Structure 1
Amino acid sequence: MTEARGFPAFPAGSRRRHHSWWGTDWLRAMEDTAVDAGLTRRGRRIATEGRIGPITVSPGRVAGTVDGNRQTAVTVEPLSDNGWATLVAEASVQSGHLAALLDGALPHALSELLPTVGDLDAHCSCEDWGNPCQHAAALCYQAAWLIDVDPSLLLLLRGRSLDALTAEVAGHHAAPADAVASESITLAAEAFSYPTPPLPELPPPATDAPRLHVIETPPGIDPGVLHGAAATAVSRARRLLEDGRPP
């Protein structure tokens, strides 16, 4: 089961001026959906003023309390089984994709984890009609700060985990090799179970004189030496066939 993770409140004055590309995309999904840009601006100010308590990230949900009494959450749909299979396949294409995620970076190949416009849904106990309201917008900004540092939180938000992805990628790489090894073992066992066929009869001894094929002499090689070496080889091969042992 995927566990929730808690993070302490950001102190007043906290701010990230330069977001990662994945943090920027997270905020774009919120800002491009907002019906009132003034609410998102107020939300950014709330985030920097330290008015949000500890944040909890759990499958499909980021939650926190704003100004001490506003229960605020931002939700996103977990990955479907098909979406998860696609993500595992993309992560398995190159070992560097998973390594980058383990190192705190999100490869573009795994952008399936990011929400797009309309994917984030805001919930707040305030009476503001905006979606998101200023409190939910503030929570989105601080969530972006967390995701900037640890993009694997996107896996948690999508109802999965980094451990699960690591295991799936390892199994994805190992499955073909295991299948081949199993098939090879089966084929070898079958081959050794077959009876040994009798050896073919020896050919009749040669009676005519040995004949050499015409050999084109390479440059720098004495034709007589090459012809003599070939004749010696033919004679030894013939005696081996006749006597059954090397001359």
Structure 2
Amino acid sequence: MTWWGAQWLNSLSQIDYDNRLPHGRSYANKGAVTKIEIQHGTIHAKVKGSRPRPYVVTIKVPVMPSQQTKALLDAVALDPVIISKMLNRELDPAMLEHAKRLKMAIFPTRWTDLSMACSCPDWAVPCKHLAAVIYLISREIDGNPFIVFSLKGVDLTQELAARHISIEREAKVTLPLVEDLLGQPHHHEPLVQNMSDMNDYSALDYSLLSDLAASLVSVLPANPTFFQPGDFRLIYEKGVKRVI
């Protein structure tokens, strides 16, 4: 796990009743979180539990004060090391130092920093369903640290663009669809009804693919369910380099 993903999990670090944290991690690893969306600093999710219907989870992250945000980003824009790390989809710890000097928090430090609710009957907040969602968000932040700012109500791409720094490509890494490679318009119905029918891969225009090797590695979790010892991304990256 990256240090910025671990920082997000600090919001759960002081909770130790009824083993809710291990249960939450287990829920996250086995795929109990069936839906997760982030909208304007609010996380909406559904988590499977002991009842037929999934529980509804809502987590709200407090926004950054506008004056402090401006001061932070003005300082960040003048720091070439921080910017170079961002261009590699990384956060430099120096950003936290800038934030501390401004007496502002980029990451939650305790669970009370977040407004959380779950429709389950558990009396505890956070319950294991909330913990599962927070664990999954930490994995997303691992692969894309810019989510941290989105959760705080800051459009980092836009703010830095206003300071003549572009990180749009790094912040919005997407994989091309089959329709894009085939040069065909998107359809609601799948282009291939039966995978056995798609025998001729020569129709795909692979020249449209950009070099996504580094980006793909950055969005992988460090410790997926099937690989716990060490950092899976390092092993994956070495394997890809051997193949290439």
TM-score by length of 1: 0.57
One of 98, 111, 114 as aligned partner of 2:83: 98
1:46-61 → structure 2 map (5 Å cutoff): 46-61=27-42
1:193-212 → structure 2 map (5 Å cutoff): none
* 1:113 correspondence with 2:106: yes
Q: 1:129 deviation in Å? A: 1.3
* 1:143 correspondence with 2:128: no
1:7-46 → structure 2 map (5 Å cutoff): 19-32=1-14, 34=15, 36=17, 38-46=19-27
* SS of residue paired to 2:56: strand
CA distance 1:131–1:49, shift in 2 (3 Å) = same
Q: 1:145 deviation in Å? A: 0.4
1:82 maps to amino acid: Q
Percent identical among aligned pairs is: 26
TM-score by length of 2: 0.58
Residue 62 (structure 1) aligns with: 43
One of 69, 79, 82 as aligned partner of 2:67: 82
Q: 1:135 deviation in Å? A: 0.3
Contact 1:60–1:78 under 8 Å retained in 2: yes
Q: 1:142 deviation in Å? A: 0.5
Q: Distance in 1 between matches of 2:22 and 2:127?
A: 10
Contact 1:63–1:72 under 8 Å retained in 2: yes
Runs of at least 5 residues in structure 1 that lack an aligned partner in the other structure: 1-18, 172-247
Instruction: Provide, for residues 135-164 of structure 1, a one-character-per-residue CA deviation record: whole Å limited to 9, x for no partner.
Output: 000000000000000000011101111222
Q: How many residue pairs get matched?
A: 152
Contact 2:116–2:126 under 8 Å retained in 1: yes
Q: Distance in 1 between matches of 2:68 and 2:130?
A: 27
Q: CA-atom RMSD, angstroms? A: 1.9
Q: Distance in 2 between matches of 1:139 and 1:102?
A: 28
* SS of residue paired to 1:113: coil
Instruction: State which structure, 1 or 2, has the greater radius of gyration over its C-alpha atoms.
Output: 1
Q: 1:170 deviation in Å? A: 2.4
Runs of at least 5 residues in structure 2 that lack an aligned partner in the other structure: 97-104, 166-244
* SS of residue paired to 2:44: strand
One of 153, 161, 173 as aligned partner of 1:167: 161
Contact 1:91–1:169 under 8 Å retained in 2: no
CA distance 1:36–1:168, shift in 2 (3 Å) = farther
